[in-house]
Every structure is written in C-alpha cells, then in structure tokens.
Amino acid sequence: MGRINFNRKSLSFRLWIYFAGFAMLLMAILWFLQIFFLNTYYQDMKIRDTARVAATIESKFGSEGFIDVIVDLSITNDIYIHIETFDGSIIFSPATEERHRPSYAYVQDMQAVRTMLQNSNEQSVSIVLPEPRTDTNILAYASFLNQSHNPFDRVILYIFSPLYPVSSTVSILSTQLAYVTVISLLLAFALSYFLSRRLTLPKDLMANVSHDLRTPLTMVKSYAEMIRDISGDVPEKRNAHLNVIIEEADRLNLLVSDMLTLSGIQSGAVPLEKSNWNIKEVIESILGAYSLHKENQGYTFFLSCDDGISVNADQAKIKQVLSNLINNAVKYCGEDKHISITVKAGNNKVRCEVADNGQGIPQNEIGQIWDRYYKGGATEGTGLGLAIVKEILTLHNAKFGVTSEPGRGSTFWFEL
C-alpha cells in the first residue's frame, strides 16, 4: 500500500476533504431532521393516520358490522371515536363502555372542532388542542360521513387522538444517532480516502511522469540546436550529440511504452492468455539479453531451477514480470553485481525469487515500492516497473512480496 499523503495542496487531499465534508453535512442534516423536526413530523403522521381511519369508517358507514369496525379501529389505533347526527343524536360513543372510556372528557373539544367544521367549506377539519389534565396535546378531527343537502340529516364523525410527548423518544434517538454518527463518519472518512486516492492516482501519475517527459524532450531539443548551430560540421561532436538524442529518445520510448502497458492492464483492455510453459526456458531467454552486462560490466547471474518446471499463466506477461524484476535487481545490486534467480516447485505452487546483494530498501519505504512512479532514489528507469509487476500478478491472483534489509539486499518473490 502507498503511504498516506497529507499534503494539503494535493488533489487527493482536497477530494478527501470534500467527500468527508459531504458525509458530515449529511449527518448534520439527519440530526437536525430527527431531533428538531421530530415533533412536527409526529403530528403530521398522526393527522395522516387519523384521516386514513376516517376514510375507512366512511367506507363502512351503514354496512353490516359497522360498529365492530369502529371498535376495532379505536383499540388498534388508540383513538376515541364518536359519531352523532347534526342534532346531537348519538350513533356511536364508546364513552359508556368501561374498556373504551377515556381518561379525559372530549365534550368541550367536540364543540370546538364542530364549530370549525360548520364554518368551513371542507369535508373535514383537524386541530391540535391542549389537554391541561395530562399536560399533553390532543388531535381533534371531525368530518361529515354523508353528503346530505339537508344539514340536519348530516352525520358527524369525531376522532380524538392523544399526542404523546416525544422528549423520551428524542433522547433515545440521540443516543442511537451518536453511535450511528461515529460509525458512519469513520466509514465515510475511510471510503472517501480510498475514492480520492483512486480518482487522483491517474492525475498524480501524469503530474509525475510529465517531469520525466519534459527532461528528455528538453535534451533532444537542446542537442538538436547544438548540432544545427555548432557541431554540424564537426563529425566527433556531431556524433556525440546525436548519441545523446538517441539515448533520450529511447528513454521517451520506454516511458511511453510502460505507461501504455500499465494503462492497458488496469483498464482490462489486455486479457490474460494462459497456457502451460517451461519457466526455466523463459528465464534463460531473458538472461540471454544481459550478455553484454556479463562481458563488459562484470555482472553475474545465477539461476537455480530444475528442468521441467511448468506453470499455467500468461507467458508474455509473466516474462515481463521477470524482466522487470531482473532489471530492477541489476540497477540496485550494488558493487558485487551478483543477481540470483531461484525457482522452487511444491504444493501445486511455483515460487520464483529474484535476489540482489545491494543497498536494500529502508523499512519506511517498503510499502511504497509498488506505487506508480516510485524510484527509490534511482535516476534511471521510468518508475513504473514494479507497478506493472504488481498489476500483472494481481491479474493472475498471484501472491507476491519482497523481503529486504538495508545494506544486505532485497529479494522479490511471487507464486504461480
């Protein structure tokens, strides 16, 4: 994993702050709605429920079993229902029954809500009234159950529903919300960091690679101008300058090639083409390209691999993994210039190790080596080699890693 970057000017840090801030805003809105608007929401819900009960009563009015329906609704919804004609004749009132008798009288409330209904052009009205005896409020509802043109033939439905205090509910919700907020914010911070890293890695890569692109391009331009203005007629100087241009062009070509390879693997545009093949033969073909290193620069390569070890993998991609690891060992092998490649088979696994005796990797940098554009102090290379290794091995679902000790070298390994 890469190290956490807390550079406040970086794009990833700013995106992380934006994501985290958005999560905190959502939690603040949740708190505000649940705590400060709970009482209002509770009253609106009771009004809707009362209207629903009234609609049920109206649909059953005059039918068989009408009284049973009303009794069931009053018990189920904890409400007081009273039905009477316009002149006061009672059709239904549970007040005379002990099990339905309310703890407070609704006579005064009936008169208030009836007056509102008579003065209104609506089919129904509702009002919240205080109840001094219980220090609570009551939702009083009234509606006409029939549409008779003669007012005195109309039947009035009264429904009274107590509005219980929500302070205890608010206290419970506050405790629950505290836990929910902590858990949600921790998850939001972690997720926002992950997303910000994922979204900004391509941008960070381009920002880093642009530096390496600019350097060889500047060199090519400068030496081309020198050939044009100074060394064009001097063969030795001209050839030296042309060699620099060729080397810098090769650097550009390698960088672009690595960028395209990494992009293709990550986008899934390069599918795996697995087959069975001899890993020793492939490693020997790779080492053959280092013959000049052996002859002119004194490098030694030691391969320990039994004949006939076969793996099932994408040969071209694993060959690139091996090439990158061997090339990485060549760059960091130190003064002894000795690189060893060991292949072991067992338990249906083939383990490949590439080791050097070089400078090693500091412990605080171990987690960064697989990052794109990590060079570990090297001036050569594109910094994309180990990132490509990681992507290819991840694509194969292969285990991989590195063991290293500063001053004693590093061993990179993977299993197929």
Residue 159 domain flag: yes
Same domain, 287 and 404: yes
223 torsion bin: left (phi>0), alpha (psi -120 to 50), beta (else) = alpha
For residues 128 and 160, give the distance between their C-alpha atoms in angstroms, rounded to a whole number: 10
397 torsion bin: left (phi>0), alpha (psi -120 to 50), beta (else) = left
**Residue 54's domain is classified under what CATH number?**
3.30.450.20
Highest mean pLDDT: which range of 13-17, 60-64, 292-296? 60-64
Tell me the pLDDT tens digit for each residue of 109-122: 777 788 888 787 78
Answer for the pair 201, 226: CB distance below 8 angstroms, yes or no.
Answer: no
Predicted confidence at residue 372, as pLDDT, reads 56
Q: Provide mean pLDDT across the span 403-413.
A: 88
Q: Provide mean pLDDT across the span 65-90.
A: 84
**The domain boundary residue, chosen from 165, 199, 231:** 165
Give the pLDDT band (50/70/90) at residue 149. Answer: low
**The domain boundary residue, chosen from 165, 200, 225:** 165
What the block records as the tokens of 198 is 């994922």
Same domain, 285 and 408: yes
Buried b (16+ CB within 10 A) or exposed e, 309-342: eebebbbebbbbbbbbbbbbbbbbbeeebbbbbe
Give the pLDDT band (50/70/90) at residue 311. Answer: very high
Residue 187 domain flag: no
pLDDT at 167 > cutoff 70: no
Residue 362 domain flag: yes
Residue 81 domain flag: yes
For residues 335 and 95, give the distance between their C-alpha atoms in angstroms, rounded to a whole number: 103
Question: Which residue, 97, 71, 83, is CA-closest to 159?
Answer: 83
pLDDT at 407 > cutoff 70: yes
Residue 185 domain flag: no
Residue 252 domain flag: no
Same domain, 281 and 158: no
pLDDT at 176 > cutoff 60: yes
Highest mean pLDDT: which range of 39-43, 77-81, 320-324, 349-353? 349-353
**Residue 374's domain is classified under what CATH number?**
3.30.565.10
What are the residues whose beta carbons fall under 8 Å from the beta carbon of 232, sequence distance 6 or more?
238
pTM of the predicted structure, to 2 decimals: 0.49
Q: Give one DSSP letter per residue of 266-290, joined into a string.
A: HHT-S---EEEEEHHHHHHHHHHTT
Predicted confidence at residue 223, as pLDDT, reads 77
Predicted confidence at residue 351, as pLDDT, reads 94
Tell me the pLDDT tens digit for each residue of 329-341: 888 887 888 999 9
pLDDT at 321 > cutoff 80: yes
Predicted confidence at residue 166, as pLDDT, reads 64
| Strand ranges inside 60-131, DSSP E | 80-85, 90-92, 124-131
Ramachandran angles phi, psi of 233, nearest 5°: -100, 0
Tell me the pLDDT tens digit for each residue of 31-59: 777 766 777 777 788 888 888 888 888 88
For residues 13 and 196, give the distance between their C-alpha atoms in angstroms, rounded to a whole number: 7
- Output the average pLDDT for the chain: 78
Q: Provide mean pLDDT across the span 103-110.
A: 59
Same domain, 280 and 411: yes
Highest mean pLDDT: which range of 166-170, 217-221, 360-364, 374-378? 360-364
pLDDT at 7 > cutoff 60: no
pLDDT at 208 > cutoff 60: no
Residue 301 domain flag: yes
pLDDT at 17 > cutoff 50: yes
pLDDT at 317 > cutoff 80: yes
Lowest mean pLDDT of 64-68, 170-174, 198-202, 312-316, name the range: 198-202
pLDDT at 88 > cutoff 90: no
Same domain, 288 and 411: yes
Residue 340 domain flag: yes
Q: What percent of the chain has pLDDT over 70?
A: 75
Domain range for residue 90?
37-165
Same domain, 290 and 411: yes
Bridge partner residues of 312 (DSSP): 276
- The length of the chain in residues reads 416
- What total of structural domains would you count in the chain? 2
**The domain boundary residue, chosen from 165, 188, 206:** 165
Predicted confidence at residue 136, as pLDDT, reads 74
